Amino acid sequence: MPLERSAKAVGSLLNQSLIIVSNRLPVSVKKGDDGRMEVFPSVGGLATGLSSYTKNADNKWIGWPGIPSNDLTEDEKRFISEELRQHNCYPVFLTQDQLNDFYNGYSNSILWPLFHDLPVTEAAIRERDRFWNAYQQVNRLFLEVILALSGPEDAVWIHDYQLMTLPDMLRQARQLVNIGFFLHIPFPAAQNFADHLKWGADLVAGLLGADLVGFHVHSYMDNFMAAVESYGMGTIDKDNARITLPDRIVQVAEFPIGIDYKRYMRASKDPAVLQELARLKEMFPTQKVILTVDRLDPSKGLVERAAAYQTLLQEYPNFHGKVTLMMLVVPSRTEIEAYKNLKSRLEELVEDINKTFGNESWTPVVYMYKSLPFERLNALYQLADVAFIAPWRDGMNLVAKEYLASKPNKDGVLVLSKTAGAAEELTDAVIVDPARPETLVSGLVRALKMPAEEFRRRAGSMQQQIQNADIHNWANSFINALHSTADNQEGGAHTLGLTGRQAAKLNRRFGAASSQLVLLDYDCVIAPLTPAGMEGLPAELHEILKELSVQADIVIVSGQTQSLLEEKLGGFDNITLVAEHGLFERLPGEKSWKSYRGTDWQAKVLEHLEKFTEKVQGAELEKKDCSLVWHYDKASSYDAQNAVLELKRVIGPLAGVWKLDVLQGSMFLEVRPKGRSKGSTAKEMAARNQYDFVLVVGDDSDDCSLFVDGDWPEEAVTVKVGPGRTGARLRVFRPEEVLGLLRSFKASGSVLAVSA
């Protein structure tokens, strides 16, 4: 028996789903010594900030699960996919070669140094063509997974420098999707960018695929807009931070990332933390502790900080035995040569300082090369008198904020370089300039000697700042801004909420017109979608349509089959019904449906779809009269993703021969004859009469827009139901509001035309 359902994942329309995309997932996988898979969630800042979104099963997080796919069997990949799915996470599997060239290569040996104003090694320059190819190839793999798992109406939030070409790839594939991008590292000055980056224009064009591009601080926004200008890619409106492209507007904005402030503050009372703190205090009963906490990375200026401390000990012997530098360094990107060399240089210098100045009772530098659990890190923050944070360049630097948030008694001094994004917010820090090493030394001296009253005041004001702009605030601000950028696009620049006054005006226009067309989308526009599935028409709407159809031409357009429309609307013999997105049409007064396409292609395509329905457990095949829909929302995401790729590959040539469209929606793949759509049908309807009032109401969730493709006259009233990008002029949010509008038309004795 054929399935009867909407070609949309239930629940995805009323609330636009959010797809988060980052290089790494917030859940990692590793293979234990016994060969068993271990899946462990991380409690990183991003995962915390987005947790309220990722708990909703309609939202998804796509990324690499942390293990090369060469090490995995097909069964293991399936197992990983299923485990991750419980966290609403979906993997992009990458081979070791891809990781070498895309991640260690282009991302971390070329983009990372260039974006942090550091030199790129000769070795990386030699390999850059290969690295770049891998970068694009991996970005395309991410694209495939996004397309397989999301619908055209979803919002997609892409993170960071590893995925800079992805927004444009996604825009090419889906015109209507709402895309946000956030860069976690600095954006370099335009000159630096153009002079050193062979594919700079491709990267900037990649980002311009987004509707919203976010940065930590204002100067990075300015640099990005200057780069866009230098490549002549758009018109810059600096005052409103907008870039106008020929077909769209890109909004640029600053969103300084924060931390989970409450978690750090609370930890200061945690017994495990207090126990660790007591142990540490015994080790350093009288000494002042200067703390550094960083990934071992060339951008963090670790050697320079150790050198500044060495100078301090040389120039200020009175500090001998009274201070200790604790360097907590977490291993990072250990396969890259430049990182290995950095480790050797840093460790040699630490050894040298300890040899020169240390004695039996005092080790000037305590060096730890490891990752510490949250409680131990928090105890270190509480212990430290000074946090010494002097990166060469840093997008934000969360350690600075974590340190201050761990100080309930405000007993700490933050030394911070002006080249960290955090310096734009934490202006009460002792600011130093890494390009002038003497400022690092004087900054340390000032911090070590600062009176308690002064450092308490400074810490207090910075804590306030960090508390107000925490990680939840950051995530919510970005997502809200992303949703509102939908209104920047196409006709959306003037898409307005339908106010009571506008509704009254429409009502008057409708009443005064002599010929009216009301074209209504059925699915989720006049027939609400609930978690239980598509509901029938509300009884009141039946009555309204009956009365209105006496005066107006009413057209109901739907993606549903003829039989479903007959069941729900068959009783109306003076309404035009359009089924399967325009493939079938039943005109007023007629009993039979007109078909626009033959079905001779179906047997060929069916063969493949049936094979995959059998192969992929949970997949379901819906045979409509003129199209075939392969649903995979109940299937394993791993099997489904692979099957979608394979299906597209095998159906592609058939689609060319038979002139078919292969449409990918949220968890379904639909194959149907080319050419007919809700939009093209709408165009024909409008041309059949000289209407002096046209109302079109739809949700714009199909790849073809009812509003844009309908080619409506200037005075037509187009109304979009729900959030997201649209070519409509007006917007309402719920089907109930459409009902209200139609009710008012009935009351005015006017007539309407509707599309489903």
Is residue 225 within 8 Å of residue 219, measured between CB atoms? no
Does residue number 396 form part of the binding site for ligand ADQ (CB under 6 A)?
yes
Decide whether 396 or 432 has the Cβ nearer to ligand ADQ: 396
Selection from 656, 599, 645, 654 nearest residue 624 by Cα:
599
User: 409: which 2 tokens?
Assistant: 């008694």
Cβ of residue 284: shortest distance to ligand ADQ, in angstroms?
Answer: 18
Of 6, 397, 406, 489, the one binding ligand ADQ (CB under 6 A) is 397
* Cα dist from 28 to 43, 655, 670, whole Å: 11, 39, 33
Decide whether 213 or 257 has the Cβ nearer to ligand ADQ: 257
Q: What is the DSSP letter of 588?
A: T
* x/- letters, 183..202, toward ligand ADQ (CB under 6 A): -xx-----------------
Cβ of residue 266: shortest distance to ligand ADQ, in angstroms?
Answer: 16
Is residue 544 within 8 Å of residue 743, measured between CB atoms? yes
Partners of 586 in beta bridges: 577
Does residue number 399 form part of the binding site for ligand ADQ (CB under 6 A)?
yes
User: 456: which 2 tokens?
Assistant: 């308490």
Decide whether 399 or 655 has the Cβ nearer to ligand ADQ: 399
Which among 395-403, 497-505, 694-702, 728-736 is the span making contact with ligand ADQ, rule CB under 6 A? Answer: 395-403
Decide whether 330 or 445 has the Cβ nearer to ligand ADQ: 330
Measure the CA–CA gap between 12 and 529, rounded to whole angstroms.
Answer: 9
Is residue 553 within 8 Å of residue 575, measured between CB atoms? no
Cβ of residue 513: shortest distance to ligand ADQ, in angstroms?
Answer: 55
Q: Calculate the CA 349 to chain-centre distance.
A: 41
Decide whether 375 or 661 has the Cβ nearer to ligand ADQ: 375
Sign of torsion, CA 354 355 360 361?
Answer: negative
Decide whether 20 or 696 has the Cβ nearer to ligand ADQ: 20
Decide whether 330 or 654 has the Cβ nearer to ligand ADQ: 330
Encoded amino acid at 636, one letter: S
Decide whether 393 or 720 has the Cβ nearer to ligand ADQ: 393
User: 521: which 2 tokens?
Assistant: 């989308």
Phi-psi region of 117 (alpha: psi -120 to 50; beta: other; left: phi over 0): left
Decide whether 177 or 383 has the Cβ nearer to ligand ADQ: 383
Measure the CA–CA gap between 250 and 750, rounded to whole angstroms.
Answer: 41
User: 132: which 2 tokens?
Assistant: 């770049």
Q: In a 3-state reduction of DSSP, which class is residue 321?
A: coil
Restricted to residues 710-729, the positions that interact with ligand ADQ (CB under 6 A) are none
User: 474: which 2 tokens?
Assistant: 């950051």
Cβ of residue 107: shortest distance to ligand ADQ, in angstroms?
Answer: 12
Encoded amino acid at 63, one letter: G
Cβ of residue 258: shortest distance to ligand ADQ, in angstroms?
Answer: 10
Of 288, 295, 418, 546, the one binding ligand ADQ (CB under 6 A) is 295
DSSP class per residue in 120-161: PPHHHHHTHHHHHHHHHHHHHHHHHHHHHH--TT-EEEEESG
Q: In a 3-state reduction of DSSP, which class is residue 375?
A: helix
The H-assigned helical ranges of 4-111 are: 45-49, 51-54, 74-85, 96-98
Specify the pairing of strand 288-295 against strand 323-330: parallel
Cβ of residue 184: shortest distance to ligand ADQ, in angstroms?
Answer: 4
Measure the CA–CA gap between 62 and 144, rounded to whole angstroms.
Answer: 11
Cβ of residue 115: shortest distance to ligand ADQ, in angstroms?
Answer: 10
User: 312: which 2 tokens?
Assistant: 């301090």
Cβ of residue 278: shortest distance to ligand ADQ, in angstroms?
Answer: 20
List 521, 553, 639, 702, catalytic entry: 521
Decide whether 298 or 528 has the Cβ nearer to ligand ADQ: 298
Q: What are residue 668's phi and psi, to 5 degrees?
A: -150, 155
Which among 242-250, 260-268, 291-299, 724-732 is the span making contact with ligand ADQ, rule CB under 6 A? Answer: 291-299
Residues in the chain: 756
What is the size of the binding site for ligand ADQ (CB under 6 A)?
A: 19
Of 293, 462, 469, 518, the one binding ligand ADQ (CB under 6 A) is 293
Does residue number 402 form part of the binding site for ligand ADQ (CB under 6 A)?
yes
Cβ contacts of 492 within 8 Å, gap of 6 or more: 486, 725, 726, 727, 728
Of 395, 492, 559, 665, the one binding ligand ADQ (CB under 6 A) is 395
Decide whether 422 or 506 has the Cβ nearer to ligand ADQ: 422
Of 398, 635, 667, 717, the one binding ligand ADQ (CB under 6 A) is 398
Restricted to residues 18-57, the positions that interact with ligand ADQ (CB under 6 A) are 45
Decide whether 377 or 448 has the Cβ nearer to ligand ADQ: 377
Specify the pairing of strand 413-417 against strand 717-721: unpaired
Does residue number 333 form part of the binding site for ligand ADQ (CB under 6 A)?
no
Neighbour count for residue 408 (Cβ, 10 Å)? 14
Which among 9-17, 89-97, 124-132, 397-405 is the span making contact with ligand ADQ, rule CB under 6 A? Answer: 397-405
* Cα dist from 560 to 6, 404, 569, whole Å: 7, 58, 12
Selection from 613, 606, 604, 616 nearest residue 642 by Cα:
616
Restricted to residues 242-271, the positions that interact with ligand ADQ (CB under 6 A) are 257
Of 189, 245, 280, 330, the one binding ligand ADQ (CB under 6 A) is 330
Q: Give the burial class of 355: count Cβ atoms within 10 A of its Cβ; 0-12 exposed, 13-18 middle, 19 or more buried.
A: exposed
Phi-psi region of 193 (alpha: psi -120 to 50; beta: other; left: phi over 0): alpha
Measure the CA–CA gap between 231 and 202, rounded to whole angstroms.
Answer: 10
* Cα dist from 306 to 142, 211, 234, 300, 311, whole Å: 40, 43, 45, 12, 9
Cβ of residue 24: shortest distance to ligand ADQ, in angstroms?
Answer: 11
Measure the CA–CA gap between 554 and 639, rounded to whole angstroms.
Answer: 43
Measure the CA–CA gap between 84 and 435, rounded to whole angstroms.
Answer: 44
Cβ of residue 257: shortest distance to ligand ADQ, in angstroms?
Answer: 4
* x/- letters, 354..393, toward ligand ADQ (CB under 6 A): -----------------xx----x----------------
Decide whether 108 or 560 has the Cβ nearer to ligand ADQ: 108
- In the annotation, is 394 catalytic? no
Q: Give the burial class of 303: count Cβ atoms within 10 A of its Cβ; 0-12 exposed, 13-18 middle, 19 or more buried.
A: middle
* Cα dist from 543 to 325, 440, 535, whole Å: 79, 78, 17
Catalytic positions, please?
521
Residues that bind ligand ADQ (CB under 6 A): 45, 184-185, 257, 293-295, 328, 330, 371-372, 377, 394-399, 402
